[in-house]
Amino acid sequence: MTVEDIWEMLEDVTDPEVPVLTVVDLGVVRDVVQLGDKQWKIIITPTYTGCPAMQVIEDDIKARLSKEGLETEVELVLSPAWTTDWLSENGRKKLEEYGITPPQDEGDKSVLFGEKPLIPCPRCKSKNTRLVSQFGSTACKAHYQCNDCQEPFDYFKCLK
């Protein structure tokens, strides 16, 4: 069993709240360390501090590896802090196909009264959209609506 094999197994573990993404796409898995012949340590980091999915992710990782007869220890680290930059290119593509707009480059906006970034509609690609709420169905998403096709959609908001 090599480190690459483990990473491949982790590709089967999906985010319980955005099931189209694997924990690898999401950038939640930070490292894979071999501890012994059949023992591995997986280091993960939360997207948001209060993310309720972390326990499920930990259990799912353990369950996946135990299928191969492996014992897993999961360690949660906070630093360096997760950023949407760690979302893989593949993950971004999958998100968009799923109907969630992936994080857009929001530039170096000031916290208050900053310029609003243009968030394209995942359905018709129009940039004529409006923010409905900065807080969406889960901690990592904001809620938008398209002014052209009227589609309400989630935007995977930038966290830097």
Partner 1 sequence: MTKQEALFEYLLRNADDSLILGHRLSEWCGHGPILEEDIALTNISLDLIGQATELYKYAAEVEGKGRTEDDLAFLRLEKEYKNVLLVEQTNGDFGKTITRQFFFDHFEHLLYEGLSKSKDERIAAIATKTLKEIKYHLKHSSEWMIRLGDGTEESHERVQESVTDLSRFTEELFFQDEVDEILIKEGIIPNVKDYRIAYEKSIAAVLEEATLVLPEKDGNSMAEEKEFTLNIWVIYWPNCNICREHIQGWNGKLITNNECLNYELCSLPIRNS
- The residues binding partner 1 (CB under 8 A) are 46, 48-52, 77-83, 111-112, 132-137, 139, 143, 157, 159-160
49 vs 66, which CB is nearer to partner 1? Answer: 49
Note whether 143 binds Zn ion by CB under 5 A: no
Torsion (CA) 112, 92, 51, 54 in degrees, nearest 10: -160
Rounded to whole angstroms, the Cα distance separating 72 from 34 reads 10
Count of residues in contact with Zn ion, rule CB under 5 A: 8
68 vs 148, which CB is nearer to Zn ion? Answer: 148
Note whether 118 binds Zn ion by CB under 5 A: no
Binding site partner of 112, from partner 1, Zn ion, none, Cβ cut-off 5-8 A by kind: partner 1
Binding site partner of 149, from partner 1, Zn ion, none, Cβ cut-off 5-8 A by kind: Zn ion
Note whether 126 binds Zn ion by CB under 5 A: yes
Confirm if 10 and 23 have CB atoms less than 8 A apart.
yes
Rounded to the nearest 10 degrees, the angle between the axes of helix 3-10 and helix 54-66 is 130
40 vs 82, which CB is nearer to partner 1? Answer: 82
Q: Which residues pair with 154 in a beta bridge?
A: 100, 143
